[in-house]
Amino acid sequence: MQIKEAIFTKSSSTWKECPAERMPEYAFIGRSNVGKSSFINMLTNNSKLAKTSSKPGKTQLINHFLINKEWFLVDLPGYGYAKINKSIREGFNEMIAGYFLHSKNLVYMCVLIDSRLEPQKIDLEFLRTLGENHIPFVLIFTKADKLSGTKVRTNVQTFLDTLSAEWEELPYYFITSAETGLGKDEFLDFIEQSNKEVAEIFQQ
């Protein structure tokens, strides 16, 4: 799939305010600063579409972007940013959980994982929460340009091995870089296929 058009639709502070249009949604989530907004910009070839920052805590609302007038990309705030005020952090967590528990359009949560790190407790716990709530998800390993290919593959394998300890089936995963565009075509092809699979449900 090629992204021909990406339009910012709206920012919402709760799931109740999210766009009412019935279209498939793919939401990007992960630790603060993992590269969610940068990944969205890389996919859409627009470095200014989603706001990015070298400081964690940049995205603070649920942001919807309409792609090719067919589906939504959703940029979410990050989780696990320790330095942010506790009530703001709890507000983010509530916003994120409210979204994935109630969104009628959500097809996949796309959970971004920093490919440089060993498995982080907070990511594993978040995936567990998604599993407990039967929310489908895929993994996007980010910042692959910062390591050698061998090291990235080792880290990804370690993450998958850790998941195998508690999951019977492993999710789809993508190794990506917002810097080089690695993983872009593969991920967009996945969305195209997924949109076909859900088309009937969304036409009802």
Q: Report which residue's Cβ sits closest to Mg ion.
A: 59
Largest CA distance in the chain: 47
Out of 33, 37, 105, 195, point to the residue binding Mg ion (CB under 5 A): 37
Query: Quick check: 175 and 183 in contact, CB under 8 A?
Result: yes
Examine residue 59 and tell whether it contacts ligand GTP (CB under 6 A): yes
Binding mask 153-182 for ligand GTP (x = CB under 6 A): ------------------------xxx---
Examine residue 59 and tell whether it contacts Mg ion (CB under 5 A): yes
Query: Quick check: 164 and 170 in contact, CB under 8 A?
Result: yes
Binding mask 112-151 for ligand GTP (x = CB under 6 A): ------------------------------xx-xx-----
Q: Is the dihedral of CA 44, 49, 52, 58 positive or negative?
A: negative
Q: What is the DSSP secondary-structure string of 91-143?
A: HHHHHHHHHHHH-SSEEEEEEEEETTSPPPHHHHHHHHHHHHTT--EEEEEE-
Least distance (Å) between residue 203 CB and ligand GTP: 32
If binding means CB under 5 A, how many residues of this protein chain bind Mg ion? 4
Using the structure block, give the residue that is written with the tokens 């090719």: 68
Least distance (Å) between residue 134 CB and Mg ion: 26
Positions in 121-140 near Mg ion (CB under 5 A):
none
Q: Report which residue's Cβ sits closest to ligand GTP.
A: 78
DSSP H helices, the chain, are: 36-44, 86-102, 121-132, 149-164, 184-203
- Binding residues (CB under 6 A) for ligand GTP: these are 30, 32-38, 52-54, 56-59, 77-78, 142-143, 145-146, 177-179
